[in-house]
Structure 1
């Protein structure tokens, strides 16, 4: 079977694994990208920046398309778990393609610079396996557009996360920059809304449709959603708790600074 005509290989998958690396290469040659970071930044820092810009572009496309999918489908007339739409395989293919190239970049970064995140790597591999299982084993018979649309909205916090990294790289601190305080707060709120509350809301919506509790819904709608969404939910909760701890510490130090009593030495 020709891979380019296979119903299991959306064109968005092929586009992502070719266009995203191309965008990465183009960004690496742009002066405005180089000017974003301090001049003393090393090669690995610029590599990381280009990767984050590509991730932000991908996240914007995913969020916009996922939001369009959720807002344009009449869920009162179309079942939220079986309704078919071309946007569903588009989103899954795009996410799979992006994560595939980004995981390859992660291995390359480890080999070239000796740095990398095991947690991010595990997250990428988990979602890749889930996406492959969705596209190939399930033959797109039950696309679950509501789930895919809601999962796509999880990308909403990514551009904010990367902009926060840029501010930190430029030396901006919570207690010195209003912009940094605003971005940190926006990230914590947005991350919770789109990655934790949104994941929970999927269960609520499906449960209401099937007449059961939110935590029972994923088990009735299919194992393909249960394993992936549960794993992502637990990881997102862990990441948010780390983020919230950092934010609370910065907030406390800024608004409630410790008073240091100085003693005079006679």
Structure 2
């Protein structure tokens, strides 16, 4: 079997596996990138910054491409699960390629610096398996472009998350500022909209097409979509609850502790 000419291997997968590692390596050699963090930042943080920039670039491409896919198709005339478009395998290949290199970085980070997130690793492995399942088992005969477009929008909150990390890494001036509370709030709202509300809206769209309620629809679209969307939904809920807990703690500590301090004076 010629893998390079296989319909299951979109060019975007090969491109992502090539371009993203090259971008990561190039960023690591640029003095301007290293200057973003404080001079005392260690090598692990510098590597982490490069990885976050790559992630933000990828997320931006996925968000714009997903929006284009969703807005360029007339869903009143084309079926949400069987309409064929070249954009669908492009998005899946790009996501799979990015997550593969990012998972490799996660393992590298553990081996080199002794740090890593088990939740992030589990999330990456789960999405990689889902993408591989799509490209190989599902094939390209039933691409589900609406689902892939909506799932691509889940990347919308990623640049905000990484921008916050960069500002936090620069010192306590940001940590103790109103700007941080604003960005934290923007992250929490955006994350909810694109990763939780978006999942729910897919159920609404399916239900409208099939003439049933949103909570009934997932059981009538086949295991390939039900398993993927349900797994993603619960994983995103867990992530959002973690963000919400951090947001409540941050806002409570920033506003109410100051208020209490003033009263005691």
**TM above 0.5:** yes
What corresponds to 1:6 in structure 2? 6
Question: Mapping of 1:60-99 within 5 angstroms?
Answer: 60-99=60-99
User: 1:81 touches 1:145 (CA, 8 Å); kept in 2?
Assistant: yes
User: 2:196 touches 2:233 (CA, 8 Å); kept in 1?
Assistant: yes
Question: Mapping of 1:1-266 within 5 angstroms?
Answer: 1-172=1-172, 176-257=176-257, 259-260=260-261
The Cα of 1:262 is off from its aligned counterpart by 6.4
User: 1:174 touches 1:250 (CA, 8 Å); kept in 2?
Assistant: no
CA distance in 2, matches of 1:222, 1:95: 22
The Cα of 1:200 is off from its aligned counterpart by 0.6
User: 1:84 touches 1:143 (CA, 8 Å); kept in 2?
Assistant: yes
Moved more, 181-190 or 218-227: 218-227
CA distance in 1, matches of 2:108, 2:215: 39
Between structures 1 and 2, the one with greater helix share: 2
The Cα of 1:176 is off from its aligned counterpart by 3.0
Q: How many residues align?
A: 263
CA distance in 2, matches of 1:144, 1:127: 16
User: Which sections of structure 1, spanning at least 5 residues, go unmatched?
Assistant: none
Question: What secondary structure, in the 3-state scheme, does the structure 2 residue paired with 1:256 have?
Answer: helix
Question: What secondary structure, in the 3-state scheme, does the structure 1 residue paired with 2:5 have?
Answer: coil
User: 1:62 touches 1:152 (CA, 8 Å); kept in 2?
Assistant: yes
Q: Indicate the RMSD between aligned Cα atoms, in angstroms.
A: 1.5
CA distance in 1, matches of 2:173, 2:250: 9
CA distance in 1, matches of 2:44, 2:193: 32
CA distance in 2, matches of 1:175, 1:141: 50
The Cα of 1:178 is off from its aligned counterpart by 3.1
User: Which sections of structure 2, spanning at least 5 residues, go unmatched?
Assistant: none
